[in-house]
Structure 1
Amino acid sequence: MKSKSVIIPLSLALLVLLLVFWQQYRNNSSTVYMEGKALGVAFSLQYTGDPQWEKPLDSIIYSLDKVVNLQRPDAEVSRFNRNGILENYSPHLEKMLEVSNHYQQFSGGLVSHGMLPLIEAWGRDFSRRNQMSKAMVDSLKALVSTENISVEDGTLKALHKGSSIDLNYLDKGYLIDLLGNFLRSKGVNSFHIEFGLDGCVFGKNNPKQTTNFLLNIPEELLASLSGKGNFSVLNRCYSTSGSFEKFYLDDKGNKHSHLIDPKTGYPLKNGILSTHILSTSALEADALATIAMIQDLETTKGLIEMQKGVEGVIIYDEEGVLKYWTSSGFYK
């Protein structure tokens, strides 16, 4: 009798322990899918782990969307652009402005969070280019300087009427890194995050799932790229800027990207149509993809080659012929 009284509690304890382990295994092996729209683009997020992390992930996405999404009238940047002043702004906005200042200095002024007045004047697809004059461009160039935006006693102020903030060139990379860092901190060892043309693949995910890396490259160029060797985006982040399908023709019929040179105030004419960057950081990939679009071709090649852990592809137009370049470590 005495031995039976010992066996029964041990059996129950073992059963409870097995149930705990089973629950933990199920949570750690569940595949969770999330999708929606934020920062003005569609997003998808997939991870293998506990479904309870879905709610805090959604909260991270929502919190940043309310800071930098220009399509939201209630976003912090929208309120600043509308009123010329913003009090009690979030730590996210403060950090992103710091990061933007870094890349502005790094690029020699090729990117800036003060570009919105020029972008709106030309039109998103240069639809207003026939209305632009040298005098208008010169006056707008004076507005885009980030020195026109000051911080005093924790308040953002526009020192010149019309100065505004647009962090579109790095916001998606910033958010992807936030989400990826959160998942890793919770022990998640496999995830795939994609916001528009930016993404990150970590762990056991199949790199073929990356739908937006090398997006819109003409089939003949993509076939040539794939035929030269194997490349992988596994455990790396990626960003694409520009698009082969989105360009404008100048008076001579040459193709150019839909970007503006902040130094001249005029549309770019460097022949680069799209850049595709791989990095260990989504933020770095996002920023470098834009910077690489704005420089001349040879400078862009050098930029990609000299950044540790960065690889890339450039699609460009050379006298009417589409060509591509890959960095030395692109194929592994």
Structure 2
Amino acid sequence: MQKLLLLCFTVWLVSCNGKQVSYVEDKGEIFHTTYSIKYKYSHSLKSEIEAELAKFDNSLNPFKPTSIISKVNNNEAVVLDSFFVNVFNKAQEVSKVSDGLFDITVSPLINAWGFGFKNLENVTPEMIDSLKSIVGYDKIQFQDGQVIKTDPRIQINTSAIAKGYSTDVIANLLESYGIADYMIEIGGEVTARGVNAKGEYWHIGIDKPMDEKAPAHRELQAIIQLCDKSMATSGSYRNFYIKDSKKYAHTINPKTGYPSESNILSATVIADDCMTADAYATVFMLADTANIRSIAEKANLSYLLILDSGNDSLTLVNSSDFEKYRVR
């Protein structure tokens, strides 16, 4: 997911009883990315936040041998926690609505192509066909507290939904302390409630796609105001490869086994929770615009798509209700 520019301010406030109340800002690193959390409270909750994120990591980090998801992948007996169950159920829901464009069993195909497509020259149609036999959301189910697989080689990876869910988890933590005004950004995924320190809705920037893997500067395509909503953005413009003059995105289509050839450079989704927004932002990088419109209506989503229309020009396509979120 692409990093979003957060346009917020910090001031000191005084409550009715005379106690000083601040908008605290906590920053750090987690899940090989950064986080920024701003909230109205009397003191920092950074240690509590990082403790909750550590629990989350122990559940859903597929690269940690002792995590719950790793034990599921290794077919070991394990007690599933609420983090895993919630992500699994939401992933299966999105898979059904998107007709398989979202799939948490796609890892074998991702691994075959390699990070940054480093294995590009080694991939063959025969290899893809073979791997597709152990990919498919319909090959796994949750039953009697356990994940049942049709093939023990099936692997689960929730990276396309977990960061979004982590912002929801921290939102629940903050609300347990009675906090009503906050903005949580983890790896570019955002959940915002209430207002910022200026008493305004939270302002979030959406990057303008730059046709470079490491652009010298960043520009904003739009600024969004959020209140009691979540937003996630997925993009291909910094992760792609070119073969035979065709550009392929980093997102693997689980139905075909191949990288996306879509001209969608960026998909931003606004939803009631960030786990949902994150998952559908991935879906929209694979679907065509007509299918996106249909899916968004079913799932009650708002969206902004940035398309490559050729000749270094961009086309914006958005849901009819997206304009109410735009500041510019």
TM-score normalized by the length of structure 1: 0.80
Q: Partner residue of 1:323?
A: 314
**Rg larger in 1 or in 2?**
1
Compute the displacement of 1:312 (Å): 1.9
Deviation at 1:52, TM superposition (A): 6.6
The answer as to whether partners of 2:97 and 2:295 remain within 8 angstroms in 1 is: no
Pick one of 97, 101, 108 that aligns with 1:110.
Answer: 101
Offset of residue 186 of structure 1: 2.8
Q: Which has the higher strand share?
A: 2
Structure 1 residue 236 and structure 2 residue 229: aligned?
yes
What is aligned with 1:134?
Answer: 125
* 3-state SS of paired residue (2:231): strand
Q: What SS does the aligned partner of 1:51 have?
A: coil
Higher share in helix: 1
3-state SS in 2 of match to 1:30: strand
Q: Confirm whether residue 179 of structure 1 aligns to residue 170 of structure 2.
A: yes
Instruction: Map 1:227-266 to 2 at 5 A.
Output: 231-251=224-244, 253-266=245-258
CA contact (8 A) 1:172 1:195 kept: yes
**Aligned partner (choices 29, 37, 43) of residue 45 of structure 1:** 37
Relative to structure 1, the CA distance from residue 59 to residue 268 in structure 2 (aligned partners, 3 Å threshold; closer, same or farther) is same
Distance in 2, Cα, partners of 1:127 & 1:114: 21
**1:289–1:141 CA distance, 2 compared to 1 (3 A):** same
1:178–1:131 CA distance, 2 compared to 1 (3 A): same
Instruction: Work out whether 1:190 is the aligned partner of 2:181.
Output: yes
Equivalent residues of 1:311, 1:330 under 8 A apart: yes
Q: How many pairs are equivalent?
A: 300
How big is the shift at 1:301?
A: 3.7
Classify the secondary structure of the residue corresponding to 1:95: helix
CA distance in 2, matches of 1:47, 1:100: 29
SS in 1 for 2:225: coil
> Counterpart of 2:226 in 1: which secondary structure?
coil
Amino acid paired to 1:136:
M
Aligned to 1:3: none
CA offsets 1:112-168 (integer angstroms, 9 cap, x no match) = 111111100111222212211111111100111234445565444554343111011
User: Are the counterparts in 2 of residues 276 and 289 from structure 1 also a CA contact under 8 Å?
Assistant: yes
Which consecutive residues of structure 2, in runs of 5 or more, have no partner in the other structure?
1-15
Q: Is the 8 A contact 1:255 1:317 kept in 2?
A: no
Equivalent residues in 2 for 1:91-170 (5 A)? 91-149=82-140, 154-156=145-147, 158-170=149-161
- 1:47 deviates by 0.9
Identity %: 26
User: What SS is found at the alignment partner of 1:44?
Assistant: strand
Q: Kindly state the Cα deviation for residue 216 of structure 1 after the two structures are TM-superposed.
A: 4.9
* Between 197-206 and 142-151, the greater mean CA deviation after superposition: 142-151
The 2-side partners of 1:124 and 1:60 are apart by 29
- For 1:153 and 1:57, locate their aligned partners in 2 and report how far apart those are by CA, in whole Å: 31
Change (3 A) 1:232 1:33: closer
After superposition, residues 213-292 of structure 1 pair within 5 angstroms as 213-218=205-210, 225-226=221-222, 231-251=224-244, 253-292=245-284
Q: TM-score, normalised by structure 2?
A: 0.81
What one-letter code is carried by the residue in structure 2 that aligns with 1:51? H
* Corresponding residue for residue 304 of structure 1: 296
Distance 2:299 2:143 in 1: 35
Cα distance in structure 2, aligned partners of 1:158 and 1:303: 27
Aligned to 1:10: none
* 1:85 and 1:158 in contact (8 A); partners too: no
Gaps of 5+ in 1: 1-19
Match of 1:263, SS? coil
Deviation at 1:73, TM superposition (A): 3.0
CA displacement at 1:248 relative to structure 2: 2.1
Q: Summarize the Cα distance change of 1:156–1:86 in structure 2 as closer, same or farther, 3 Å threshold.
A: farther
Q: Relative to 1, partners in 2 of residues 1:329 and 1:209: Cα closer, same or farther, differing over 3 Å?
A: closer
The equivalences for 1:76-87 within 5 A come to 76-81=68-73, 83-87=74-78
1:269-314: CA deviations, max 9, x gaps?
1221211112232122111101111111332244335643x32221
Q: Aligned-pair distance for 1:54?
A: 4.0
- Separation in 1, partners of 2:44, 2:262: 48
Mapped partners of 2:79, 2:224: distance in 1: 45
Relative to structure 1, the CA distance from residue 74 to residue 168 in structure 2 (aligned partners, 3 Å threshold; closer, same or farther) is same
Displacement after TM superposition at 1:80 (Å): 3.0
Alpha-carbon RMSD across the aligned residues, in angstroms, is 2.8
